[in-house]
Amino acid sequence: MRATRAVPALICAMLLAVACDAPPDPANKDMAAPGGTVEPGRAPAPEPQMAEAPAEHDHEETGGRLEAHEHGRATLAAAVDGNELTFTFEAPLASLVGFEHAPETDAQTEALNTLKDVFVVPGSMVAVNPSAGCLPLMTTSGTHFGGGHGALEVEHVYTCESADRIDSIEFLLMDRYPQLESIDAIFLSGTRQSAGELRPGSPALKVR
Protein backbone atom coordinates (compact mmCIF):
# COMPACT_ATOMS: atom_id res chain seq x y z
CA MET A 1 0.00 0.00 0.00
CA ARG A 2 1.53 3.29 -1.11
CA ALA A 3 0.61 5.32 1.96
CA THR A 4 1.94 2.73 4.38
CA ARG A 5 5.30 2.55 2.58
CA ALA A 6 5.65 6.32 2.49
CA VAL A 7 4.70 7.00 6.09
CA PRO A 8 7.92 6.12 8.03
CA ALA A 9 10.24 8.46 6.14
CA LEU A 10 7.72 11.31 6.09
CA ILE A 11 6.82 10.89 9.76
CA CYS A 12 10.42 10.91 11.00
CA ALA A 13 11.20 14.09 9.09
CA MET A 14 8.48 15.91 11.05
CA LEU A 15 8.63 14.10 14.37
CA LEU A 16 12.26 15.25 14.80
CA ALA A 17 10.66 18.59 15.55
CA VAL A 18 8.17 17.11 18.03
CA ALA A 19 10.29 14.61 19.97
CA CYS A 20 10.51 11.64 17.62
CA ASP A 21 13.49 9.52 18.70
CA ALA A 22 13.70 6.91 15.91
CA PRO A 23 11.81 5.46 12.93
CA PRO A 24 8.91 3.13 13.67
CA ASP A 25 9.45 -0.55 14.42
CA PRO A 26 6.92 -3.14 13.28
CA ALA A 27 4.42 -4.06 15.98
CA ASN A 28 2.57 -7.31 16.56
CA LYS A 29 -0.77 -6.34 15.12
CA ASP A 30 -4.44 -7.23 15.12
CA MET A 31 -6.48 -6.32 12.05
CA ALA A 32 -10.06 -5.21 11.62
CA ALA A 33 -12.39 -4.42 8.75
CA PRO A 34 -14.03 -0.99 8.45
CA GLY A 35 -17.36 -0.37 10.11
CA GLY A 36 -19.33 2.35 11.83
CA THR A 37 -21.57 5.00 10.32
CA VAL A 38 -21.47 5.93 6.64
CA GLU A 39 -22.92 9.28 5.67
CA PRO A 40 -26.13 9.19 3.59
CA GLY A 41 -25.43 9.10 -0.14
CA ARG A 42 -21.85 7.98 0.39
CA ALA A 43 -20.69 4.57 -0.83
CA PRO A 44 -19.35 2.12 1.80
CA ALA A 45 -15.59 1.80 2.14
CA PRO A 46 -13.91 -0.92 0.02
CA GLU A 47 -13.70 -4.33 1.66
CA PRO A 48 -10.12 -4.81 2.93
CA GLN A 49 -8.04 -7.91 2.55
CA MET A 50 -7.98 -9.76 5.84
CA ALA A 51 -4.95 -11.44 7.31
CA GLU A 52 -4.36 -13.52 10.39
CA ALA A 53 -2.77 -11.47 13.17
CA PRO A 54 0.67 -12.74 14.24
CA ALA A 55 1.12 -14.07 17.74
CA GLU A 56 2.31 -11.50 20.24
CA HIS A 57 5.91 -11.71 21.41
CA ASP A 58 8.49 -9.58 23.16
CA HIS A 59 11.13 -7.61 21.25
CA GLU A 60 14.50 -7.97 22.96
CA GLU A 61 15.49 -4.35 22.45
CA THR A 62 17.70 -2.61 25.00
CA GLY A 63 17.87 0.89 23.55
CA GLY A 64 16.22 3.28 21.12
CA ARG A 65 12.68 4.52 21.20
CA LEU A 66 11.26 2.18 23.86
CA GLU A 67 13.72 3.41 26.48
CA ALA A 68 13.43 7.03 25.36
CA HIS A 69 9.67 7.39 25.41
CA GLU A 70 8.00 9.66 27.95
CA HIS A 71 5.05 8.57 30.06
CA GLY A 72 1.95 10.68 29.57
CA ARG A 73 2.89 11.56 25.98
CA ALA A 74 2.17 9.94 22.63
CA THR A 75 2.68 10.62 18.92
CA LEU A 76 0.09 10.81 16.14
CA ALA A 77 1.13 11.19 12.50
CA ALA A 78 -1.15 11.58 9.48
CA ALA A 79 0.25 11.19 5.96
CA VAL A 80 -1.58 11.61 2.65
CA ASP A 81 -0.52 9.71 -0.47
CA GLY A 82 -2.91 10.16 -3.37
CA ASN A 83 -6.39 9.36 -2.05
CA GLU A 84 -5.11 7.40 0.96
CA LEU A 85 -4.73 8.86 4.45
CA THR A 86 -2.68 6.86 6.97
CA PHE A 87 -2.65 7.54 10.72
CA THR A 88 0.12 6.13 12.90
CA PHE A 89 -0.25 6.37 16.68
CA GLU A 90 2.21 5.26 19.37
CA ALA A 91 2.02 5.60 23.15
CA PRO A 92 3.72 4.07 26.22
CA LEU A 93 1.53 1.36 27.70
CA ALA A 94 1.94 2.95 31.16
CA SER A 95 -0.06 5.92 29.86
CA LEU A 96 -2.92 3.67 28.80
CA VAL A 97 -3.13 0.63 31.10
CA GLY A 98 -0.80 1.56 33.98
CA PHE A 99 1.98 -0.95 33.24
CA GLU A 100 4.35 -1.55 30.33
CA HIS A 101 5.81 -5.01 30.78
CA ALA A 102 4.52 -8.15 29.11
CA PRO A 103 1.33 -9.26 30.86
CA GLU A 104 1.92 -11.41 33.92
CA THR A 105 -1.66 -12.01 35.10
CA ASP A 106 -5.02 -12.74 33.50
CA ALA A 107 -6.16 -9.23 34.41
CA GLN A 108 -3.18 -7.64 32.62
CA THR A 109 -3.72 -9.84 29.58
CA GLU A 110 -7.37 -8.78 29.48
CA ALA A 111 -6.39 -5.11 29.87
CA LEU A 112 -4.04 -5.29 26.86
CA ASN A 113 -6.55 -7.16 24.73
CA THR A 114 -9.24 -4.61 25.57
CA LEU A 115 -6.86 -1.76 24.73
CA LYS A 116 -6.06 -3.18 21.30
CA ASP A 117 -9.74 -3.88 20.66
CA VAL A 118 -10.62 -0.25 21.42
CA PHE A 119 -7.98 1.19 19.10
CA VAL A 120 -8.55 -1.26 16.24
CA VAL A 121 -12.21 -0.27 15.70
CA PRO A 122 -12.38 1.72 12.44
CA GLY A 123 -13.19 5.36 13.10
CA SER A 124 -12.69 5.02 16.87
CA MET A 125 -9.35 6.81 17.19
CA VAL A 126 -9.58 9.88 14.97
CA ALA A 127 -12.17 12.00 13.20
CA VAL A 128 -11.56 13.95 9.98
CA ASN A 129 -13.73 16.87 8.86
CA PRO A 130 -16.61 15.38 6.80
CA SER A 131 -16.00 17.51 3.70
CA ALA A 132 -12.86 15.47 2.92
CA GLY A 133 -15.00 12.35 2.44
CA CYS A 134 -12.61 9.98 4.26
CA LEU A 135 -13.79 6.44 5.03
CA PRO A 136 -11.86 3.76 6.99
CA LEU A 137 -10.21 1.06 4.90
CA MET A 138 -8.13 -0.99 7.36
CA THR A 139 -6.80 -0.77 10.92
CA THR A 140 -4.14 -2.59 12.93
CA SER A 141 -3.12 -2.41 16.57
CA GLY A 142 -0.48 -4.20 18.60
CA THR A 143 2.01 -4.00 21.44
CA HIS A 144 5.77 -4.43 21.67
CA PHE A 145 8.17 -4.69 24.60
CA GLY A 146 11.89 -4.22 25.22
CA GLY A 147 14.38 -2.72 27.67
CA GLY A 148 11.80 -2.72 30.45
CA HIS A 149 9.34 -0.68 28.40
CA GLY A 150 6.26 -1.38 26.34
CA ALA A 151 4.26 0.56 23.76
CA LEU A 152 1.03 0.42 21.80
CA GLU A 153 1.29 0.94 18.05
CA VAL A 154 -1.79 1.60 15.90
CA GLU A 155 -2.29 2.27 12.19
CA HIS A 156 -5.54 3.40 10.57
CA VAL A 157 -5.78 3.70 6.78
CA TYR A 158 -8.57 5.71 5.11
CA THR A 159 -9.59 6.42 1.54
CA CYS A 160 -10.63 10.01 0.87
CA GLU A 161 -12.71 11.53 -1.93
CA SER A 162 -11.10 14.96 -1.43
CA ALA A 163 -7.92 14.64 0.60
CA ASP A 164 -7.03 18.23 -0.29
CA ARG A 165 -10.02 19.35 1.81
CA ILE A 166 -8.70 17.87 5.05
CA ASP A 167 -8.54 20.76 7.51
CA SER A 168 -9.05 19.16 10.92
CA ILE A 169 -7.97 15.91 12.60
CA GLU A 170 -9.35 15.15 16.06
CA PHE A 171 -8.09 12.44 18.45
CA LEU A 172 -11.17 10.91 20.08
CA LEU A 173 -9.86 8.86 23.01
CA MET A 174 -8.14 11.26 25.41
CA ASP A 175 -11.12 11.35 27.79
CA ARG A 176 -11.03 7.55 28.01
CA TYR A 177 -7.33 7.51 28.98
CA PRO A 178 -6.74 10.37 31.48
CA GLN A 179 -3.10 9.37 32.04
CA LEU A 180 -2.46 10.36 28.42
CA GLU A 181 -1.70 14.05 28.94
CA SER A 182 -0.55 15.19 25.50
CA ILE A 183 0.01 13.98 21.94
CA ASP A 184 2.60 15.35 19.50
CA ALA A 185 0.64 15.41 16.23
CA ILE A 186 1.73 16.03 12.63
CA PHE A 187 0.06 16.09 9.23
CA LEU A 188 1.94 15.60 5.94
CA SER A 189 0.83 15.74 2.32
CA GLY A 190 2.47 16.64 -0.95
CA THR A 191 1.56 20.31 -0.51
CA ARG A 192 0.89 20.86 3.22
CA GLN A 193 2.33 20.10 6.61
CA SER A 194 1.14 20.98 10.10
CA ALA A 195 2.23 20.10 13.63
CA GLY A 196 0.86 20.73 17.08
CA GLU A 197 0.28 19.40 20.57
CA LEU A 198 -3.07 17.81 21.39
CA ARG A 199 -4.42 17.92 24.95
CA PRO A 200 -7.69 16.87 26.62
CA GLY A 201 -9.11 20.37 26.25
CA SER A 202 -7.90 20.77 22.64
CA PRO A 203 -7.71 17.34 20.96
CA ALA A 204 -7.82 18.57 17.34
CA LEU A 205 -5.02 19.51 14.93
CA LYS A 206 -5.86 22.28 12.47
CA VAL A 207 -4.39 21.53 9.03
CA ARG A 208 -3.25 24.55 7.03
Strands (E), 61-202: 73-81, 84-92, 126-128, 134-146, 149-160, 168-171, 182-188, 193-198
- Residue 21: band (very low, low, confident or very high) from pLDDT cuts 50, 70, 90: very low
Calculate the average pLDDT of the chain: 77
User: How far is 200 from 208, CA to CA, in rounded Å?
Assistant: 22
Read off the pLDDT of residues 50-68 as tens digits, 9 standing for 90 and up: 333 333 333 334 334 444 4
Residue 183 sits at φ, ψ, to 5 deg, of -130, 125
| Neighbouring-strand partners of residue 205 | 169
- Angstrom CA distances, 156 to 102, 113, 115, 123, 148, stand at 24, 18, 15, 8, 27
Length of the chain, in residues: 208
User: How far is 189 from 80, CA to CA, in rounded Å?
Assistant: 5
Boundaries of every domain in the chain: 2-35+58-183
pTM of the model: 0.70
- Look at residue 74 and tell me whether its pLDDT is greater than 90: yes
For the chain, state the CA radius of gyration: 16
Please give the pLDDT value at position 29. Answer: 53
- Higher per-residue pLDDT: 202 or 8: 202
